[in-house]
Each structure stands twice: as C-alpha cells, then as structure tokens.
Structure 1
C-alpha cells in the first residue's frame, strides 16, 4: 500500500500517540527533503510526516497516497535547497 518505505522516527511522539511518521525513498544520502503536514478529521489530529531520501517522483507518490487513498491530503513543505548570500 505504501509507495516507499514507511515507519516511525524513534524517540518521537506524534499527535496520535505513536512515533512521528517517516517515508524513506530511494535517493540515498539526500536526507530530509521535506514534510507533509496533514489533518485527519476522522482521527481529529494533525501530524507532520517526514520525507527522507525521497525523489521528486516518490514525493508525488506519497502525496497521491495521502490525497487519493487515505483521503487526508497534506501540505507539502519542501526543504529549501537555496543558500542565502550576503
């Protein structure tokens, strides 16, 4: 059912009492590429789901899972890859 590896971030607690959700893709070494912030009216909670080592295609597949399969949607907050210049 999950488009990429899915699990929980050890040592964390999310709104639902479990660990913070993590989706891990195939882009080894990319690190945290972004987050999805979701609101689940059925569970009456808001969660942050971490995207680690995900390609752009894998991020899109996670978005489709959240929108089309789970019906909870989510706001994608991508990691800023630009550096500030002074």
Structure 2
C-alpha cells in the first residue's frame, strides 16, 4: 500500500509518462497523412511507401509505445512502492 504523501508524486509521474507515450503516436497519426501522397511516389516491397507506413508503421509504433509504457509504468510503480506483489 502506498503512503498518502506518495500519491501525488506517483500520479504526477504517471501522468507525464502517459503524455510522453501518447504524443509521438498522435504526431505520427496527424503528420503521416499530410505526406502520404509524396511518400507514395516511392515503393517498398511492392507497395506505395505512404500506404505501407500507414498500415505497418502505425502498428509497429503502437506495439512499441504500449511495450515501453508498460515497462516505464512498472518502473514508476516500483519507485513509488505501488507495485503488485506476485
């Protein structure tokens, strides 16, 4: 159980960690469509590059973002004594 005085710093760290995880994903989702037409002039594995990045790049970034979020949240939990035992 976390002490009362540790709750505010814990949630502050968790909030900033969440923002740091979501911002790159949102930037990619907003910026990639703006450049998709110019990227489609190149091909990768037979597919237009903008199309390929939209499908596969977003998926890979999402997997990486979730994995890093879980890893960093676990570190925050341990640092503040809020980790689950077991």
TM-score computed with the length of structure 2 as normaliser: 0.27
Instruction: Compare relative contact order (CA 8 Å, sep 6+) and give the higher one, 1 or 2.
Output: 2
Larger radius of gyration: 2
